Amino acid sequence: MKVIKRNGSEIEFDPSKISQAIRKANTEVSDKDQINEIKLALITSEVTEKCRDLNRAVNVEEIQEIVETELMTAGAFEVAKRYIRYRYDHNLKRTRNTTDDVILALIEQNNEEIKQENSNKNPTIASTQRDYMAGEVSKDLTARVFLPEDIVQAHNEGLIHFHDADYFAQHIHNCDLVNLEDMLENGTVISGTLIERPHTFSTACNIATQIIAQVASSQYGGQSISLAHLAPFVQASREKFRTDYGQLLSYMSLDQYYDFIETLVYKDIVKGVQTIQYQVVTLMTTNGQAPFITVYMNINEAPEGQEREDLAAIIEETLKQRIQGVKNEVGVWITPAFPKLIYVLDENNVRPGSEYGYLTELAAKCTAKRMVPDYISAKIMRELKGDVYTCMGCRSFLTPDRFTDAGVGNIANAGNYEPEVHKYYGRFNQGVVTINLVDVALSSGGDKEKFWEILDERLDLCYRALMIRHERLEGTPSDVAPILWQYGALARLKKGEKIDKLLHGGYSTISLGYAGLYECTRYMTGASHTDPEGTPFAIEVMEALNKATAAWKAKEDVDFSLYGTPLESTTYKFAKCLQRRFGVIEGVTDKNYITNSYHVHVTEPIDAFSKLDFEAQFQKLSPGGAISYVEVPNMQNNIEAVLAVIGHIYDNIMYAELNTKSDYCQVCGYDGEIQIVEEDGKLIWECPNCGNRDQSKLNIARRTCGYIGSQFWNQGRTQEIKDRVLHL
């Protein structure tokens, strides 16, 4: 068993240190209040057992709290008082800012918690360490300067989670839909250099990757671009090639000439798509990671005719290249984490024999091998939102456009603004605060009347925290991120102009996240939220959250929206906080993770189609963003089954994905599923063929929170991955 020290480093658990600390306290009380060695040994044994029962690494503070509890339970009150006093005195002696210790441990690669905080960051490289160092300073400032004490306390205790505190000190936002069309068609500026309209598709793709990198370095969340914005530049390539090679008409027939031109166009498409594929996975932003980029593929986003056919060719090539993958350091084709792909299902591509059905079949093959694309049902999305558009990153959806219909006008000064057309590209999310529903339930003790009272109190905390996020962005000058606010990614504001008008009236959103609906329902009703005994309560909770965001929206004229939080490191944090506050409760706090948003618990047996049907009702109640998944085995030889799931998604749920495995061991060449094994209370990845446990020589890709992770995970998320059951 491991112990996490205050600076984040790990050491082996040593019961003798517990005995030693108790013995010191014991010697400082009178003889009549002292405990004997037998009782001391029993208390040490009980503390050790309770630590082991947590089935994870424990931190020093947790051990000390368990020691205090066991001393009190044993009736050793004076010893407990002296132990508490000893602990308090030593805390006072730690006068140096603890942020210093965390940063120093990080630099020396001893801080295990931060090293595993983000499965898309390599914590050993300098750029990531630089970002983490800045993040620790930002967290410290946020806690001491920007947030009131009760919100900091609620965050630390796991009642709520104030997301991305490591970037909060800066005036930057979460995620967005990049207005790539405006930037390519009307030009942009990157690092003081004017970038004019490109003359070929491949050049447009190259510029797009530069834009992606610049945008990623100016915010902290995901971004999405649409392939439809690149499609017009296929025609630009076609026209350029016709001009460049017009003289060949003297030597070949018209049909031969056009075939030759189309061959050049196809090669340019291949080159352009390859640029996006390789540039994205090799770019390194100032955040120390590849850009969190989503590529949106909606065949109906392009007008009918040549432009739609060109978009179809781009989508086809994108899928083909993703199926192939990218080569790792030893030259083996593996699954890249980015870009994330989203494929829109509609009547002209989802049915067998439909016009673009061949693209959907190719998408199914890609999903079976590389876990992407994910699927948006145009039919269900029109029912729920009235429009079809992509999410920002893994799952965060904008609210439907209401300002265009209200005649607000072109407040972003976009170069591609159309008065009667709903606007989504150029809009963004201001940030997220998540409520821990499990803690609300446990704090109520199962009393439903008290549950609703506590929920209201916690929602008020979230509201105030979200308003602090909003107010932090107010007054931000466009100069903070020129690529975003001045040169078209989100707006074309003047230098020095503030972004305030983009924060109100629905142009941007701000999200109330929620986590642990399953555990909350289980505790309050005794049943899973999939059980008819539990479902009504789960729905009632969701409706209460939506009612709260609607009230905040009406009060502030800001689009608050309910968001199914994609917990990564926070799932572990919440679980540890719950165990610390309430102990280990079977079916509720007995795991080192809590469930993402509304999802069916990962251990619960359910078939893929039933899972999608059940979760669809919760997607409807998560308008700020949600994604469902089904866990499947290797499906490369069963594409018909993949297509069956895809067809079910189209008819029943707005946004879903299929999770498979894609691993490789560099030591022995094994390309099956890398296993998770336990050693001394810690979960470790191991090649089942050769026993390799060296993470630097394992290529593992798993869906973590909508994104694919490839840099390994914290212990809570690793246990969640290990516990997943198949749905097909």
Render pLDDT for 216-262 as a digit per residue (tens, 0 to 9): 999 998 999 999 999 999 999 999 999 999 999 999 999 999 999 99
Tokens of 455: 């929920």
> Do the strands 340-345 and 374-377 form a parallel or antiparallel pair, or are they unpaired?
parallel
* From 118, 122, 396, 546, the catalytic residue: 396
Radius of gyration of the chain (CA): 27
Residue showing tokens 């090679």:
245
Whole-number Å distance between alpha carbons of 351 and 204: 32
Whole-number Å distance between alpha carbons of 163 and 512: 11
* From 51, 394, 577, 705, the catalytic residue: 394
* From 133, 391, 392, 654, the catalytic residue: 392
Q: Which fold has domain 176-385?
A: Anaerobic Ribonucleotide-triphosphate Reductase Large Chain (3.20.70)
> Could you confirm whether 511 is annotated as catalytic?
no
* 590: Cβ contacts below 8 Å, ≥ 6 apart: 584
Average pLDDT, the chain: 91
> Could you confirm whether 396 is annotated as catalytic?
yes
> Could you confirm whether 665 is annotated as catalytic?
no
The count of other CB atoms within 10 Å of the CB of residue 186 is 16
* From 518, 563, 650, 655, the catalytic residue: 563
Whole-number Å distance between alpha carbons of 628 and 635: 18
Mean pLDDT of 10-16: 86
Instruction: Spell out a b/e string for 356-394, using b for 16 or more CB atoms within 10 Å of the CB, else e.
Output: beebbbbbbbbbbbbbbbbbbbbbbbeebbeebbbbbbb
Tokens of 27: 């010697």
pLDDT tens, position by position, 333-351: 988 888 999 999 999 999 9
Share of the chain above pLDDT 90, in %: 69
**Which 3 state secondary structure label does DSSP give 41?**
helix
Among 80-84, 191-195, 619-623, 707-711, which stretch is predicted with the lowest mean pLDDT?
Answer: 707-711
pLDDT at position 12 is 86
pLDDT tens, position by position, 679-688: 887 899 999 9
Alpha helices in 14-117 (DSSP H): 15-27, 37-53, 60-73, 77-93, 98-107, 112-115
Amino acid making up residue 625? G
Among 19-23, 266-270, 282-286, which stretch is predicted with the lowest mean pLDDT?
Answer: 282-286
> Binning pLDDT at 50, 70 and 90, where does residue 537 land?
very high
pLDDT tens, position by position, 140-186: 889 989 999 999 999 999 999 999 999 999 999 999 999 999 999 99
User: 228: which DSSP letter?
Assistant: G
* From 112, 136, 361, 568, the catalytic residue: 568
* From 174, 202, 224, 478, the catalytic residue: 174
Yes or no: say if 261 and 241 are a contact pair by the CB < 8 Å rule. Answer: yes
> Could you confirm whether 563 is annotated as catalytic?
yes
pLDDT surpasses 80 at 103: no
Yes or no: say if 16 and 24 are a contact pair by the CB < 8 Å rule. Answer: no
- Cα angle value 36/38/40 (rounded, 5°): 70
pTM of the model: 0.86
The count of other CB atoms within 10 Å of the CB of residue 149 is 9
Distance set, CA 360 to CA 194, 345, 355, 624, 631 (Å): 38, 8, 10, 27, 20
* From 133, 175, 381, 654, the catalytic residue: 175
* From 55, 298, 429, 508, the catalytic residue: 429
> Could you confirm whether 366 is annotated as catalytic?
no
> Could you confirm whether 429 is annotated as catalytic?
yes
Residue showing tokens 């516990």:
723
pLDDT tens, position by position, 78-88: 888 888 777 76
Whole-number Å distance between alpha carbons of 109 and 9: 8
> Could you confirm whether 638 is annotated as catalytic?
no
Share of the chain above pLDDT 70, in %: 92
Helix axes 60-73, 569-582, angle to 10 degrees: 10
Instruction: Spell out a b/e string for 75-88, using b for 16 or more CB atoms within 10 Å of the CB, else e.
Output: ebebbbbbbbebbe
* From 625, 706, 709, 716, the catalytic residue: 706
> Binning pLDDT at 50, 70 and 90, where does residue 95 land?
very low
* 538: Cβ contacts below 8 Å, ≥ 6 apart: 517, 520, 521, 529, 598, 618
